[in-house]
Structure 1
């Protein structure tokens, strides 16, 4: 407490005493105990009031000891051998026991990781992928602003995510890797990557690109072999040396039959090769007996045309050709979907062919469109004219029922430009997107469908859709959502089927079991998404003839079946809506691929660079004592004593106010009781 405050308190006591003496004893002839009690109560009241005004305070210091966080981060992936597993468990137990003597210096915390970071010391070594950089980034967020050290138990082989060596330069605390696995380098030939399309067309040849690498010092030779459904279809002699240690093999394989084809690429191992798991890779593709031919017809050159072509052809089942409206109509006989980009009077022959063939079309309106011609040449919809060029923003129609558009968001997308007015569908139609003009939601479609008999049409009121594809990439670093949305629209237009209330979304090929998920959307008879449906899926293995039935669980706007527990193989499935009497069937394949088995040695060199980048040091399991000593003697990890200074009132004002009120009340009562004024 400050001297000034003490002087104020003394002054308050003197003032209170002087006032009491003046009031009770100056020129007052009354004496006795009653006078003393009353003067004391008056002193308490006055002194307490003055203390409230002064409000004396004092400083209180609180001291705490902050320990260093010691994080034991363990690789829980399946790349660990049985010897590694036992060694890790033993080393962890040994390290914990040795660090018990330093319990006053460290808070010991246990984490494990595979694809994700987990706060647990229970180890199963079953994770199918390793993401070291993501685990380190997670610890960075958890322990930001604290004194932390990480002991990383791993073989250094990462199968997913950012390269942890470069991420380590952004790490905020030191990392001490403990190298697991075999550090000996063996001669090794491996298939590092295979590039192939997911789809091929019957009687066509599909490309196959194989990347092969060699790790060794001697000159060796081997033979690349490609099998399709266990039948040898291609082979090539390959040679390597310590200088020429990589090779890329390109070939063309003919798709002779329809269906899912299992492709096996093999490079026979060297005589003394230890790891043979990376000498073989499996993949699959689906051979289709037909493809969708899409024609884009336009008289203008516009970025929209390139964006449409790339988005539609992102699915290998579709081929896009670009024509002018005056092209020979015989070239358009095999077209499945016509995309009419900003049509004018020169499209007269094209429209007549569409009507004659009862073909499906997608019309895009813009500033170059002849709207009067559009209204005159067809009877599916009318476009109001006489509007100025304006910007049209998109707003999704949640009630759209033709196909699932729930995963495509137009939030923040740039506007389209058009001078067309509202589109009035004359037959059956349903808008996918509605227009928003100057922040106001308009009851008019921006993208809508129109049906007549077996033909289907779509109308987009506005140009510059290429900006949507760019915005999708800017948001997600991929064109996937935009391309999938346009792909679903193309699929809808390329078929003459009616409304489908039950739609499945799945892949014909899954690289491994963890990716195996099937999605479904179901609409009631009013074509409103039914969130109370009961959907079951029955999956049957083609190899074992065993089956399993599981329910599809409701997610955010769709149903999903997680089949990640299925082993690799070929499967048929049937999904059934219990009360709706609707079912859909299909087939898929799960490939037997384990990225964790592609490495034969630990990557201690990269772990050493990670340690240096973060200010740590590399250790081997036999040097745990050195690690413990380094942690205990490093001055960076000495516990820090921190003080917290709190300024608090000397007397609680509520307590003091109670004393003042009690003293005044008691004085008043005594005076009245004794007949004093």
Structure 2
């Protein structure tokens, strides 16, 4: 309490005493115990009132002891189940968790990880991917601002994510690895990676690239075999040693029949090789006999042409040719779809051919478009162009229904260049994107889809779409989102079948570690997305003829069924909408591949570098008691005494108001009773 406040309280007591003397004894001859009692009550009331006016603050100091955090992080992947890793991990965790000295010094928290970090519920050792970097990053966020140490029980073999050894430089807490599993190095030959195309075309060749590596001191010889349905397609003898311990094998195979091909790649095992799980790899290739030939017709050179070609050909089922409008009708026969880029009078023969064939087209206009010609040569849309250039930014229509655009974000897309003018679309259409100029919405189409009984069309009223593809790369370090968007436009235009109210999106082949999902989009009779539908997915295993039913859950503009829990094999499925006569069917294959089983020995050397990089120590299962002794003695984790000041104003004490009221009331009754009032 401040000295000034003490003087004020003392002054309040003197003032209250002086007032009592003046009121009861000044020029008064009355004395006795009655007046003494009344004087005391009056003093108490006055002094309490003055205290409330001064309102002194009372400070109370509270002390607490905060213990450091010990985070036990256990590897829950299937690689721990090899050898004696499970027993080592469980025994070490139990020994540390139940130690009384650890409990006295630390707040112990337990987590498990595979691909993601989770609170410890139980250990199953069934997760199929190890992401140590993500687990450590998540713990940094959870325990930020506190004193902590991480004990990680793992074999050190990471299969996904950022390399945890290099992550150590950004780690806030010391990490104490306790290595579980077999630390012995064995002679091992394995297939590290297989690169191939997802699709192949009938009667064409498709490439396969195989990365083989060897661990051991002596020279090893093995035979690489590529087979399908038990029939050998390729065979090669390979020799490796401790110096030349890796090799890349490239070959091409023939696509002779249509369908999904399960290709098995295998290495003959070495003598006394312990881990043969990594000697084989299975891949899936779909052989198709259809290829969409697309013509980009342009009389000018522009970056948009190359961007469209690259984007469309990212799907290998499509081939793009950039042609001049002067081609003859016989030369145009080879194309299934036409992209008309900024047409002028030289396009008259092309439009005549398109009209005669009823082909679907994608028209892209810009400042170099001859709108007088374009308005005359077709009757789907018109534009009163003022020949004044302007930059327009896109506005997405979230209610667009012709195909799924939920992953399309155009908010950061650069503007396109167009000419000002009012557009009139005479065919049935739906806007995907509209125009905005300098923050003003024009309610004019920028990218629209047109559909009649005869054909489908797309119309883009602006050039420089290549900038959108570059922006997609800036955001995601790849072109996938933009290429997928263009792919959906082309798929819509290439398909002339009547529009379906129920559409499915799925892969024909799922790798073991891939995100296996089936998506569905459902529209009501007016082709508005229906978010109240009940869609069920019935899966049938072709191998054992068993069925399972999955409900499709509503996500952001689509329905989805997660099938990642299915075992490998071939499946057929049917999606049906409840209370509607709508069904869709399909087939897919889930390939068997467990990356966790590819590595047999623990990577203790890498874990040792992780420990060193975070100023910690590496331990083995037999040294769990040493870890307990070391961390208890470590002065970095001593409990911290923290103090907290609790400042309370006297006016917050309601009892003081009660004392004032009681003193004044008692004084009044005593005076009344004795006839002094």
| TM-score greater than 0.5 by the shorter chain | yes
Go from structure 1 to structure 2 and tell me whether the alpha carbon gap of 1:501 and 1:651 turns closer, same or farther (over 3 Å shift).
Answer: closer
Please state if 1:164 is matched with 2:164. Answer: yes
Cα separation, 2, equivalents of 1:669 and 1:438? 82
Matches within 5 A, 1:215-364: 215-364=215-364
1:637 CA drift (Å): 1.3
2:513–2:593: 8 Å Cα contact kept in structure 1? no
Matches within 5 A, 1:412-427: 412-427=412-427
Identify the residue that residue 46 of structure 2 maps to in structure 1.
46
1:131 CA drift (Å): 0.5
Cα separation, 2, equivalents of 1:471 and 1:295? 25
Identify the residue that residue 93 of structure 1 maps to in structure 2.
94
1:82 CA drift (Å): 5.5
Cα separation, 2, equivalents of 1:566 and 1:5? 76
Deviates more, 1:427-436 or 1:66-75: 427-436
Secondary structure in structure 2 of the residue aligned to 1:103: helix
Secondary structure in structure 2 of the residue aligned to 1:385: strand
Identify the residue that residue 68 of structure 1 maps to in structure 2.
68
Secondary structure in structure 1 of the residue aligned to 2:385: coil
Q: Deviations over 1:38-73 (max 9, x none)?
A: 433332232122212322233321111111111111
Matches within 5 A, 1:406-445: 406-445=406-445
Cα separation, 1, equivalents of 2:56 and 2:574? 80
1:540–1:571: 8 Å Cα contact kept in structure 2? yes
1:202 CA drift (Å): 0.6
Q: Deviations over 1:165-190 (max 9, x none)?
A: 00111110011111111111112111
Identify the residue that residue 185 of structure 2 maps to in structure 1.
185
2:84–2:182: 8 Å Cα contact kept in structure 1? no
Go from structure 1 to structure 2 and tell me whether the alpha carbon gap of 1:265 and 1:673 turns closer, same or farther (over 3 Å shift).
Answer: same
Matches within 5 A, 1:577-616: 577-616=577-616
Go from structure 1 to structure 2 and tell me whether the alpha carbon gap of 1:190 and 1:620 turns closer, same or farther (over 3 Å shift).
Answer: same
1:422 CA drift (Å): 3.9
Matches within 5 A, 1:246-645: 246-386=246-386, 388-512=388-512, 515-645=515-645
RMSD: 2.0
Q: Deviations over 1:131-179 (max 9, x none)?
A: 0001111111111111111111111101110000001111100111111
Secondary structure in structure 2 of the residue aligned to 1:540: strand
Secondary structure in structure 1 of the residue aligned to 2:104: coil
Deviates more, 1:332-341 or 1:659-668: 659-668
1:206–1:255: 8 Å Cα contact kept in structure 2? yes
Structure 2 residue runs without a partner (length 5+): none
Go from structure 1 to structure 2 and tell me whether the alpha carbon gap of 1:383 and 1:669 turns closer, same or farther (over 3 Å shift).
Answer: farther
Q: State how many pairs are aligned.
A: 676
Q: Deviations over 1:264-319 (max 9, x none)?
A: 11111211211111110001011110111111122333222222122211111111
1:66–1:641: 8 Å Cα contact kept in structure 2? yes
1:401–1:527: 8 Å Cα contact kept in structure 2? yes
Secondary structure in structure 2 of the residue aligned to 1:104: helix
1:383–1:420: 8 Å Cα contact kept in structure 2? no
1:373 CA drift (Å): 1.5
1:422–1:445: 8 Å Cα contact kept in structure 2? no
Cα separation, 1, equivalents of 2:124 and 2:14? 78
Cα separation, 1, equivalents of 2:128 and 2:459? 46
Cα separation, 2, equivalents of 1:38 and 1:548? 91
Please state if 1:36 is matched with 2:43. Answer: no
Identify the residue that residue 57 of structure 2 maps to in structure 1.
57
1:513–1:568: 8 Å Cα contact kept in structure 2? no
Cα separation, 1, equivalents of 2:76 and 2:582? 43
Identify the residue that residue 23 of structure 1 maps to in structure 2.
23
1:333 CA drift (Å): 1.6
2:101–2:632: 8 Å Cα contact kept in structure 1? no
1:219–1:241: 8 Å Cα contact kept in structure 2? yes
Identify the residue that residue 647 of structure 1 maps to in structure 2.
647
Secondary structure in structure 2 of the residue aligned to 1:464: coil
Deviates more, 1:77-86 or 1:626-635: 77-86
Please state if 1:84 is matched with 2:85. Answer: yes
Go from structure 1 to structure 2 and tell me whether the alpha carbon gap of 1:641 and 1:653 turns closer, same or farther (over 3 Å shift).
Answer: closer
Cα separation, 1, equivalents of 2:245 and 2:433? 54
2:83–2:182: 8 Å Cα contact kept in structure 1? no
1:3 CA drift (Å): 4.1
Please state if 1:11 is matched with 2:30. Answer: no
1:420–1:461: 8 Å Cα contact kept in structure 2? no
2:88–2:181: 8 Å Cα contact kept in structure 1? no
Secondary structure in structure 1 of the residue aligned to 2:388: coil
1:366–1:420: 8 Å Cα contact kept in structure 2? no
Cα separation, 1, equivalents of 2:668 and 2:562? 82
Go from structure 1 to structure 2 and tell me whether the alpha carbon gap of 1:325 and 1:83 turns closer, same or farther (over 3 Å shift).
Answer: same
1:428–1:451: 8 Å Cα contact kept in structure 2? yes
Structure 1 residue runs without a partner (length 5+): none
Identify the residue that residue 206 of structure 2 maps to in structure 1.
206
1:442 CA drift (Å): 3.4
Cα separation, 1, equivalents of 2:535 and 2:548? 14
Secondary structure in structure 2 of the residue aligned to 1:273: coil
2:516–2:564: 8 Å Cα contact kept in structure 1? yes
Cα separation, 2, equivalents of 1:422 and 1:398? 23
Cα separation, 2, equivalents of 1:213 and 1:475? 35
Deviates more, 1:584-593 or 1:644-653: 644-653
1:434 CA drift (Å): 2.2
1:452 CA drift (Å): 3.5
Q: Deviations over 1:338-363 (max 9, x none)?
A: 11122222222221221122111111
2:509–2:590: 8 Å Cα contact kept in structure 1? yes
Identify the residue that residue 106 of structure 2 maps to in structure 1.
106
Secondary structure in structure 1 of the residue aligned to 2:421: coil
Go from structure 1 to structure 2 and tell me whether the alpha carbon gap of 1:670 and 1:467 turns closer, same or farther (over 3 Å shift).
Answer: farther
Q: TM-score w.r.t. structure 2 length?
A: 0.96
Cα separation, 2, equivalents of 1:173 and 1:10? 55
2:83–2:181: 8 Å Cα contact kept in structure 1? no
Deviates more, 1:554-563 or 1:597-606: 554-563
Secondary structure in structure 1 of the residue aligned to 2:108: strand
Cα separation, 1, equivalents of 2:255 and 2:469? 33
2:449–2:459: 8 Å Cα contact kept in structure 1? yes
Q: Deviations over 1:378-412 (max 9, x none)?
A: 11111231263223222222332222222222233
Cα separation, 1, equivalents of 2:305 and 2:115? 40
Deviates more, 1:322-331 or 1:146-155: 322-331
2:52–2:650: 8 Å Cα contact kept in structure 1? no
1:116 CA drift (Å): 0.9
Q: Deviations over 1:497-524 (max 9, x none)?
A: 1222111010111002763211100001
Secondary structure in structure 2 of the residue aligned to 1:129: coil
1:329 CA drift (Å): 4.5
